[in-house]
Chains A and B, each alone.
Chain A
Amino acid sequence: MTAVVDIQGAVKHYRLPRESLFHPAPSVHAVNGVSFAIARGRSLGVVGESGCGKSTLARLVMALEPPTAGTVKVLGHDLNALAADKLRELRRHFQMVFQDPYGSLDPRHTVGRIVGEPLDGLETRLARDERRARIVAVLESVGLRAADADKYPHEFSGGQRQRIAIARALITRPALIVADEPVSALDVSVQAQVLNLMRDLRDRYGVTYLLISHDLGVVDYVCDDVAVMYLGRIVEQAPAKTLFADPRHPYTKALLDAVPRPDPTNRRQGTVLKGTVSVETVTGRGCPFADRCPRVEQRCRDAAPALRTIAPDHLAACHFAEGP
């Protein structure tokens, strides 16, 4: 069976403004050689801090940006080799949900028009009542009412708006939904409603998610597999259960350790990760995490560790991943 997403060696550099007449313009290395495949029904979560390239990765998968190098295949089709009309036809199979439920819905359109728009653009024309029936059905599947189709986005709360965004993504019955930080703008109690909805939709319609988030708990709740990104590379990838129980990369460990836990009796005294993520404009030869790593050695600065299998289904890019 073809993978829903298959990315090989994806690289994305963004040009920066020229700083000098005599040197080529520098560029930001947002994604630096990422490869993974998502099998149908095995949702992948991508976690990492701001600037690690996770949103760029989402844009590559959605064919919103062409990669600088590498291939991005969705359902077996190379997105950047397809003709524009073929790509448009394919788009009904992969849809996106954005972070900001206020900015991603047009305030001048009714909810019915917003949710129905993918039908007009991506599918063959439907009869009026059939179209209406599809819109009502999808609104009901995300927990909204048929009457909501005639309202405008400002009449809804943040959580309801995110349901509308999910309905819009769901209406073409896609195989893949790319969700970029879908709940980070929501309050905890509302966030739980949206996360439960995402899980129900996965179980009911067999949607596969590529979920981008900085929140490890969110990813753990929705996804089967997790990839941890750092400076445009995947540094560790494993099934969620394995990754959170037995992280092998020092960055994953630091990330897990930094999550505040609501347990005042057990305040952590763990190490605090130094430094910050820098934007990379030149790819060095050593490990990208070397400057912040608590157990860095000379060989980390000399050679970048490759992402390799260290246990079944468990990939890590650290010289010490196999050790204790």
Chain B
Amino acid sequence: MALLEVRDLSVEIATSRGTGFAVRGLNFALERGQTLGIVGESGCGKSMTALALMRLVPENARIGGAILFDGEDLAQADEARLCQIRGNRIAMIFQEPMTSLNPVHTIGRQIAEPLMMHRGLDAASARAEAIRLLDRVGIPEARRRVDSWPHQLSGGQRQRAMIAMALSCGPDILLADEPTTALDVTIQRQILTLIGDLVRDSGMSLILISHDLGVIAETVDSTVVMYGGMAVESGPTARVFAGLAHPYTQGLFAARPQLGQGAGKRLATIAGVVPDLVDLPAGCAFAGRCRLAVQACRVAPPAPQDLGLGHSAACLRLDAAREPAA
């Protein structure tokens, strides 16, 4: 049985303009020790998916479907049970390390808190453990830095402190929502290398959310490409990146300015903008921007088509998409 199995997950948000469908009919499974990436542009539902897994969605949001974690449905669990799981068995790191650390507590205290809560350590041993964790995530002079305040650390070090906090209880799943987006490329490289090492050493599973195809390609075993709240393509990372079956995935790739390509080729753009989640089209969410869309695309959302070896894409025109663009 998979460690985490998400079945037909939906997140509906009540807004003043009507119901927004942030996530629709999402399915994926994550084995122990496996890494999964979710990639997409802003508004595609990737962050809402992460929040739904932790049941941390905003109050006006409703979760549907099943989130089976070790056989237990988190979508039905009560708040007390969720408190035992959050930060303990599923831990999360966020994009902005400055706003997700509490500015009025030292980082040592923030790392010690889950240790005392979930593992019942006393203050002294929690502090010793916090120092060990800070050292493990590569913060120099951990013994001294444990008493630092968040504002005394650089962006990269804050993200390391966040990772130390997430790791403190030895979680089964680490959820990382754009963990390196606010960081410079050389620091991004350090943090991704650190996350990769930690996942390998501790055997935990990783869900990495990013808008950057490069980050996804270098870090995870399998990939889900999201658009308009749905998975449009998913499968083993190598297969997805070699296949690029869905027109949206192809478009994302072609729109990326690549180093060394220089002034030569013109960037292919995807016309139009991401659809409004309150006013989604009846058919495929991408149909309005797709160069291959036909009438059938606008009728109902396409079901995922199996492409073999775990690779699938939700598109009616996969054959046409396979031919090179005119």
Which residues of A approach B to under 8 Å, CB–CB? 49-50, 157, 159, 187-193, 195-196, 199, 214-218, 220-221, 224, 240-241, 244-245, 254-265, 267-268, 272-274, 276-277
Q: Does B120 contact A (CB under 8 A)?
A: no
Q: Which of A188, A196, A277 has the most CB of B within 10 A?
A: A188
Min distance, Cβ B227 to any Cβ of chain A, angstroms: 10
5 contacts between A and B (CB under 8 A): A157-B273, A189-B251, A215-B257, A258-B186, A263-B241
Size of chain B's interface in residues, with CB distance under 8 A? 47
B217 touches A261 (CB 8 A): yes
- In the complex, A217 Cα to B265 Cα: how many Å? 13
Within 8 A of A (CB), among B123-143: none
- Count, A-B residue pairs, CB within 8 A: 129
Q: Does B255 contact A (CB under 8 A)?
A: yes
Q: Does B28 contact A (CB under 8 A)?
A: no
Q: Mark B24-42, 1 if CB is under 8 A from A, else 0.
A: 0000000000000000011
- In the complex, A272 Cα to B270 Cα: how many Å? 34
- In the complex, A276 Cα to B160 Cα: how many Å? 13
Are A255 and B267 CB-contacts (below 8 A) given A217-B256, A262-B213, A264-B217? no
7 pairs of A and B residues whose beta carbons are closest in the complex: A260-B214, A217-B257, A49-B184, A192-B255, A189-B270, A187-B41, A262-B213
Contacts of A255 in B (CB 8 A): 185-186
B269 touches A273 (CB 8 A): no
Cβ-neighbour of B185 out of A49, A159, A199, A267 (below 8 A): A49
Contacts of B106 in A (CB 8 A): none
A214 touches B185 (CB 8 A): yes
- In the complex, A49 Cα to B38 Cα: how many Å? 26
Contacts of B192 in A (CB 8 A): 260
B273 touches A159 (CB 8 A): yes
Min distance, Cβ A56 to any Cβ of chain B, angstroms: 16
Within 8 A of A (CB), among B185-211: 185-190, 192-193, 211
- In the complex, A188 Cα to B252 Cα: how many Å? 7
- In the complex, A277 Cα to B241 Cα: how many Å? 33
Contacts of B155 in A (CB 8 A): 50
Q: Which residue of B lies closest to A274 (CB)?
A: B190
B257 touches A261 (CB 8 A): no
- In the complex, A255 Cα to B216 Cα: how many Å? 19
B258 touches A217 (CB 8 A): yes
Are A196 and B269 CB-contacts (below 8 A) given A189-B251, A276-B156? yes
B259 touches A259 (CB 8 A): yes
Min distance, Cβ B8 to any Cβ of chain A, angstroms: 27
B186 touches A192 (CB 8 A): no
Contacts of B251 in A (CB 8 A): 189
Q: Does B274 contact A (CB under 8 A)?
A: yes
Within 8 A of A (CB), among B169-191: 184-190
Are A221 and B257 CB-contacts (below 8 A) given A49-B186, A159-B273, A260-B188? yes
Q: Which residue of A lies closest to B271 (CB)?
A: A193
Q: Which residue of B lies closest to A251 (CB)?
A: B186
Are A220 and B257 CB-contacts (below 8 A) given A187-B42, A272-B193, A276-B156? yes
- In the complex, A267 Cα to B200 Cα: how many Å? 16
Within 8 A of A (CB), among B224-273: 237-238, 241-242, 251-263, 266-270, 273
Contacts of A159 in B (CB 8 A): 273
Q: Which residue of A lies closest to B44 (CB)?
A: A187
Min distance, Cβ B271 to any Cβ of chain A, angstroms: 8
B268 touches A192 (CB 8 A): yes
